[in-house]
Amino acid sequence: DVKVTQSSRYLVKRTGEKVFLECVQDMDHENMFWYRQDPGLGLRLIYFSYDVKMKEKGDIPEGYSVSREKKERFSLILESASTNQTSMYLCASSLVDREGTEAFFGQGTRLTVV
């Protein structure tokens, strides 16, 4: 059974803290993604990675960075958390296919910044 696992379901952090969200996939997928989900806005792409140590900015990268040192692990970093980063964060992975392919999602991390 394919699996994308996010390290935390719920997190509460203080403004200004450095926050790490971890994601691991066991499907040997090349692509990994971080999305942010907010009511009425759908899922918005923060960053994605198509290979180890490779990354590309998505639509809303400001205030975030990522790290992919191993193929199975993709980390999202909030350098200095702010209240407007309170949201649901979803990690996903997929194979590389020029015809498009299914993305598998983790269960999400609900982050609250106070």
Instruction: Return the number of the residue (15 or 107) whose C-beta is nearest other proteins.
Output: 107
Q: How many CB atoms lie within 10 A of CB 70?
A: 10
Separation of alpha carbons 95 and 113, rounded Å: 33
Using only C-alpha atoms, what is the Rg of the chain? Answer: 13
Please tell me whether residue 48 binds other proteins under the rule CB under 8 A.
yes
Please tell me whether residue 35 binds other proteins under the rule CB under 8 A.
yes
Please tell me whether residue 71 binds other proteins under the rule CB under 8 A.
no
Q: How many CB atoms lie within 10 A of CB 80?
A: 11
Please tell me whether residue 74 binds other proteins under the rule CB under 8 A.
no
Stretch that binds other proteins, among 11-19, 68-76, 78-86, 103-111 (CB under 8 A): 103-111
* Cα 6 to Cα 16, 34, 76, 100, distances in angstroms: 22, 11, 11, 24
Please give the residue ranges that form the binding site for other proteins (CB under 8 A): 4, 31, 33, 35, 40-45, 48, 50, 58-59, 90, 92, 96-108
